[in-house]
Chains A and B, each alone.
Chain A
Amino acid sequence: MPLRIAFGALPYDMAHLLGGAMLVLSFALLYQRRVTAVINIYALQGIVLAVAAAWQGFIQDAPHLYLTALLAFVGKAVVIPVALHRIIRRLEIHREIETALGIFPSMILGVALVVLSILVVLPTTLQAQAQTLTREDLAIALSVVLLGLLMMITRRNALTQVIGFMSLENGLVLAAIGIAGMPLVVELSAAFLVMVAFIVCGVFFFHIRERFDSLDLHHLDQVGETHR
């Protein structure tokens, strides 16, 4: 059974802090203009997520969350960032990020989204008999999800869009680990990671340099395909 957690108690404060860090990092992702910096911040977010998962595993006494933490750390803090850096080098992608919406407006929009998340989540979960921690955690997770989605639609570079998607996924994992007693977290997060990996592969395979839609398919011809 989970511990009783309340304000001022260390477990709560710690979890709260880690969630807040995730949110701040999401804003940082939204704020950054340089691709490499974005990747690094994403890696940082992955590390924070791993720590949060581990901490939740500790306070909920749920050992499978350690596995989630490990998965998050290896996948999101190490493998994917490294892969992305390589892609940048290989494909000679522009280092500057092209935005569809200016940085400042997107920050304002981001703040609005956070407010919306809080307005939606906190009242709806009022009577859920859920712990305050879960509710706060869910609000933060929803913010991270929405910010990730915002990043996907306000950035024009494919790579930043991918990172937006992955940060969205971080929000999902954050939500999952925050809900006490949630089963299947490992399986689901692992499955989702597969999807993320597919997308990263796709970016690499299709030589997507600028936008998601700008697939470079010339090399497909060389495979020896008869083209219609």
Chain B
Amino acid sequence: MNLLDLLSPAGWPILVPFLAAIVLALVPSWRWGAWINTGAATLCFLAACQLPWLVGPAGKFLFVDRLAAHFSLLTAFVAMTTGWFSLTYVRAEIAARRINRHRLRLYHAMFQTFVGAMMLALLSNNLGVTWLAVETATIAAVLVVGLPRTAEAVAASWKFFIVCGVGIALALFGTFVLYLAALPALGPGLAPMSWSELLPAAARCNGTVLNLAFVFFLVGYGTKAGLAPLHAWMPDAHAEGPTPVSAVLAGSILNVALFVILRLRSLMATNEAAGGGAIAPGPAIMTLGLLSLLLAAFSLWRRRDVKRFFAFSTIEQSGVAAFAFGLGGPAATFAGLLHMTLHTLTKAGIFQCIGRAAQLKGGQKFTDISGLLVSHRLLGLTLAAGIITLAALPPFGLFASEFLIVIETLRRAPLLALPFGIGIVVGAWALIWRLQTLCLGTPTQDRGPAPSALMLAPVWLHLGIILFLGLARPAPIVAWMVAIARSLG
């Protein structure tokens, strides 16, 4: 293992947040902290921007392939806009005395730790390190979720911690088994734990052991990805934590988990295709994806808390992406990838809006927030656009990805199109219903500061990208994602 890899350009996006975390832990002033946090997030994104050009042969410690670069870039982008969002958000929270200013030090440090850990998980070449990073991210997230110190927040973070702890333990067991599976192909040492070695040697791995590893990975990382029925920790954690972390959480942590599952899937699929004895990974992933979609779509209808509602929608969309990945084949994988990318951007935007709305109305229950379009036209419009995107209606991009997924479903598993369609319709209907209650109707009373146009700018950036990707698809980006999908099979 060569930690010096971190100092290479590919390591910067990891290094920046971790260093910033250390600095933030030392800086006592929360105002300075907020600025440093924002700056570090921006810097991290800038560092991540070079990743697409760093795709190439793996180092010992880091492995930047297209998939990892894609996910890292996405995570860093969301982290950056969330960092901007956080800057004004914490100011308002402090003003409303909802959060203790001394705790902000912890908050900022953990924010960066969380981001750094995720980048590490994505870019690391080593399964063990990836696992370690996910664990670190979990602990950081737990600490931040419990930060408001309300009874609900602490309970949610505790639940989050225990469940993800067990999940991560199972993932670790899976890691060991995977090592065992790769042992005959690669021999002892670090090689059987390196993605860069594992993927080309997939066909030579022991397929039956891979199956065992796959089960543990699926249950372990599936818990982190919020796949039903392992999802129940997630709405609590998203609803109770400070909104910036919800946004990053919603957008990114599940991507990291899906990322690992995706890698393992291509490993399995290659092995299966080569007759190595592995089972096809698709059906299991599809089952969990479909279950998530249906369960979440129906769960959306009884939610009273806005953030909890959108957490369920995250589960739903995560299910859709997992379903697409489970279908297999380049087209479905491409669709799943597109869906996940766009959803991450959308959801982060929506959570930012909801954060503003909750501050504005002094509560995050549906009964607190109504008539936004009338009272705060800009915020209402932005939120409405976000939810419409989420409901997969044109002109935004999620329509295209769901369209592709349905088409691929019919080509590969036509019977599953029915439950899939039901889930999508029920979910979209619930979203529109809530869009109507949030944005339309008679406005409720304001109890906090209204967001300025500048504060909503990051959300527009997100929506702009989604619209751009939904309509005009620039050839390089398409080629880039197609290459990822091809490489994943």
Contacts and interface: CB of A to CB of B under 8 A. Distances in A.
A120 B155 CA distance: 36
Nearest to A153: B166
A199 B166 CA distance: 11
A217 B180 CA distance: 44
B165 A226 contact: no
Given A172-B176, A220-B149, A184 B193 contact: yes
A227 to B, nearest CB: 7
A198 B139 contact: yes
B28 interface: no
A186 B151 CA distance: 37
Chain A interface category by residue count = 35 or more
Interface string B463-489: 000000000000000000000000000
Interface residues of B, number: 46
A192 B184 CA distance: 27
Interface stretch (B70-78, B125-133, B449-457): B125-133
B442 interface: no
A69 interface: no
B173 A172 contact: yes
Given A152-B166, A195-B135, A215 B173 contact: no
A138 interface: yes
A17 interface: no
A206 B155 CA distance: 10
A125 B166 contact: no
A188 interface: yes
A195 B100 CA distance: 26
Given A202-B158, A213-B155, A181 B165 contact: no
A225 interface: yes
B206 interface: yes
Interface in B188-246: 188-190, 193, 206, 208-209, 211-212
B162 A199 contact: yes
A135 to B, nearest CB: 9
The interface residues of chain B, by DSSP majority, are classed as helix
A138 B128 CA distance: 18
A228 B180 contact: no
A199 B176 contact: no
Interface in A164-215: 165, 168-169, 171-172, 175-176, 179-184, 187-188, 191-192, 194-195, 198-199, 202, 206, 212-213, 215
Nearest to A217: B151
B208 A215 contact: no
B173 A187 contact: no
B278 to A, nearest CB: 10
B155 A168 contact: no
Contacts of A126: 208
Interface in B153-199: 154-155, 158-159, 161-162, 165-166, 168-170, 172-173, 175-177, 179-181, 183-184, 187-190, 193
Given A179-B180, A183-B190, A215-B158, A124 B212 contact: yes
Contacts of A206: 154, 158
A142 B173 contact: yes
A108 to B, nearest CB: 23
A225 B169 contact: no
B211 A227 contact: no
B150 interface: yes
B148, B172, B175, B176: most-surrounded residue (chain A CB, <10 A): B176
A121 interface: yes
A126 B346 CA distance: 47
A175 B176 contact: yes
Given A125-B208, A187-B128, A217-B151, A179 B179 contact: yes
Given A199-B165, A225-B100, A181 B188 contact: yes
A198 B208 contact: no
A118 to B, nearest CB: 12
A121 B277 CA distance: 14
Interface in B91-136: 97-98, 100, 126, 128-129, 131-132, 135
A195 B139 contact: yes
Given A183-B193, A192-B172, A128 B208 contact: yes
Nearest to B100: A225
Contacts of A171: 173
A172 B169 contact: yes
B206 A175 contact: no
Contact of A149 (B154, B166, B175, B188): B166
B208 A124 contact: yes
A180 B241 CA distance: 42
A8 interface: no
B135 A228 contact: no
A130 interface: yes
Interface of B: 97-98, 100, 126, 128-129, 131-132, 135, 139, 148-151, 154-155, 158-159, 161-162, 165-166, 168-170, 172-173, 175-177, 179-181, 183-184, 187-190, 193, 206, 208-209, 211-212, 277
Q: Which 10 pairs from chain A and chain B are nearest by CB?
A: A181-B188, A124-B208, A184-B128, A128-B206, A129-B184, A175-B176, A225-B149, A124-B212, A128-B209, A217-B151
